[in-house]
Amino acid sequence: MKRTEPFEMYQPTSLKEASRLLKEKGPGGRFLAGGTDLVIAMKEKGLVPKYVVDLKRLPGLTGIHENKDGRITIGALTTMREIETSPVLTKKYPFLCQSAAEVGSIQIRNRATVGGNMSNATPSADVAPSLIALQAKTTIASAAGERTVALEEFFRGPGQNVMSTDEILTEVTIPKTSSRLVGEYIKFSPREMMDLAYVGVAVVYTLGEKEKTCEAVHIVLGAVAPTPIRAKKAEDALEGQILSEALAEKVGALAAEEAKPISDVRSSAEYRRAMVGAMTKRALLNAAVGPAKSWVERRDRRY
Ligand SMILES: Cc1cc2nc3c(=O)[nH]c(=O)nc-3n(C[C@H](O)[C@H](O)[C@H](O)COP(=O)(O)OP(=O)(O)OC[C@H]3O[C@@H](n4cnc5c(N)ncnc54)[C@H](O)[C@@H]3O)c2cc1C
Q: For each of the domains in the chain, give its residue range(s) and CATH number, in order of start.
A: 8-54 (3.30.43.10), 64-174 (3.30.465.10), 181-291 (3.30.390.50)
Region label for 110, one of left (φ > 0), alpha (ψ between -120 and 50) or beta (otherwise): alpha
Nearest-CA residue for ligand 1 atom 5 is 104
To the nearest whole percent, how much of the chain has pLDDT over 90? Answer: 83
In the three-class reduction of DSSP (H, G, I as helix; E, B as strand; rest coil), residue 184 is classed as: strand
CA of 232 from ligand 1 middle (Å) equals 28
The secondary structure of residue 225, as a DSSP letter, is S
pLDDT(127) > 90 = yes
Q: How far is the CA of 104 from the centre of ligand 1 (A)?
A: 11
If we measure between CA atoms, which residue out of 141, 139, 148 comes closest to residue 167?
Answer: 141
> Looking at ligand 1, which atom is closest to the CA of residue 124?
11
What does pTM read for this prediction? 0.96
Give residue 303's pLDDT: 62
Ligand 1 pocket mutation, candidates 37, 44, 131, 168, criterion most atoms within 8 A of CB: 37
List pocket residues of ligand 1, CB cut-off 6 Å. 30-38, 40, 55, 76, 102-104, 108, 111-113, 115-117, 119-120, 125-126, 168-169, 194, 196
Cα-Cα-Cα-Cα dihedral sign, residues 187, 189, 195, 197: negative
Confidence of residue 286 (pLDDT cuts 50, 70, 90): very high
Confidence check: pLDDT of 269 > 70: yes
Nearest atom (ligand 1) to Cα of 170: 41
Residue scoring higher pLDDT (6 or 33): 33
| CA of residue 196 to ligand 1 center, whole Å | 12
Least Cα distance to 256 among 285, 288, 281, 226 occurs for: 281
β partners of residue 171: 75, 139
Q: What distance in angstroms lies between residue 116's CA and the mean position of ligand 1's atoms?
A: 4
Which of 191, 265, 266, 255 lies closest to 228 in space, CA to CA? 255
Whole-number pLDDT of residue 191: 63
Mean pLDDT over the full length of the chain: 94
How high is the pLDDT of residue 64? 98
Rounded mean pLDDT, 87-111: 95
Mean pLDDT within 283-290:
92
Higher pLDDT, 45 or 31: 31
What is the tens place of the pLDDT at every residue in 167-226? 999 999 999 999 999 999 999 887 665 788 889 999 999 999 887 899 999 999 999 999
- Containing H/E element for 74? strand 72-75
* Residue closest to 230 by CA, chosen among 254, 207, 249, 248: 254
